[in-house]
A and B are shown apart, each in its own frame.
Chain A
Amino acid sequence: ILNVEQSPQSLHVQEGDSTNFTCSFPSSNFYALHWYRWETAKSPEALFVMTLNGDEKKKGRISATLNTKEGYSYLYIKGSQPEDSATYLCVPNAGNNRKLIWGLGTSLAVNP
């Protein structure tokens, strides 16, 4: 069974703090990694999709890196704002049947 692990499970930071989360996934049969942001009472929103080892993506204050050889990805948020409060989901596409693997994500709360 393929699993994705994200840490920490939850995080509380102050407005202006920079923060980062870790996503670990099986490195064998890896095809792509998607990051989603899911705000309470809204739909999951796609942030990035990455495929290549060493990939880096950036969207505003949010960036992500990918290491496919060791099976991890980092998501960074620079200068967190209250509107960044959400659950951040790392979703690898991996395995023999090439399915998306959904975990529980990291829940971020940014206090004003």
Chain B
Amino acid sequence: KAGVTQTPRYLIKTRGQQVTLSCSPISGHRSVSWYQQTPGQGLQFLFEYFSETQRNKGNFPGRFSGRQFSNSRSEMNVSTLELGDSALYLCASSLGTGDSTDTQYFGPGTRLTVL
């Protein structure tokens, strides 16, 4: 079974631009979660999508948005980029049962650099 894939792997943008990141989950997984990781910080939860609907949301500004398609693929968009948005963005997929034991499987991440 193919793992979680993310594209692109690396991205360089300038302040004020917007960016779209893509995530393809493991086949059969219906939940996709997005995380941000910056140096010295644990994974920060952005949001979770399940069946094309945002099911959970973290504490990020509205510049961060996402969506999920009918095939469970998900995209994350960041508008009006700021220097502080430079980070590793990870996507994780799971079955989406809602059970606390539902295990997340991570993609390789997208390294975003904002200049």
Contact = CB atoms under 8 A, between A and B. Distances in A.
Nearest to A50: B101
A105 B45 CA distance: 16
Contacts of B56: 99
Interface size class, chain B: 20 to 34
A43 B109 contact: yes
B107 interface: yes
Given A32-B100, A43-B4, A93-B100, A103 B105 contact: no
- Among the interface residues A31, A42, A44, A105, which one has the most CB atoms of the partner chain B within 10 A? A44
B42 A103 contact: yes
A51 B90 contact: no
Interface in A3-48: 31-32, 34, 42-46
Interface string B34-66: 010000111111000000000010000000000
Interface of A: 31-32, 34, 42-46, 49, 51, 89, 93, 98-100, 102-105
Interface of B: 3-4, 35, 40-45, 56, 90, 92, 100-101, 103-109
